[in-house]
Amino acid sequence: MTRKQRRLMLIGMAGLVLFAAVGLVLAAFRDTIVFFNSPSDVIAGNLEPGKRIRLGGLVEDGSFVRKEGMTVEFTVTDTANAIRVVYTGLLPDLFREGQGVVTEGAMAPDGTFLADTVLAKHDETYMPREVADALKKQGHWMGEEAER
């Protein structure tokens, strides 16, 4: 084997090891990546129960119900569709009806969303990008008009 062939073989082996490492990293991330979905995406997508997603939209007016303990229920809507969310824990201080919210959790077999994290907007003009994009997609975005 010539010196050039050994060098090419070494480069090929290094490339193979690098390719395998990237594959392992991507496989590890696949289980931890959580994608954002609007209620319309969830209803149209037929997500399998138990798959972790982020659900975002507006908290529907009049939908908030405090259950026993720290459990609350509310509806997240993108004005076209709505999904009932059940959450146990402390809500952010700025959480309220009619405002943008992003929840993280999984769909239950009965069609409710079991959230383990609730994120609310942090000021009057901020809307999570994913929520704003979903509302724009539905044709209900009034962000620029609301700012005037």
d(CA 59, CA 75): 6
And the tokens for 133?
């994009």
Contact (CB, 8 A) for 65 and 74: yes
3 state DSSP class of 96: coil
d(CA 86, CA 108): 10
Check whether 126 is labelled as a binding-site residue.
yes
Q: Residue ranges for the binding site for heme?
A: 122, 126
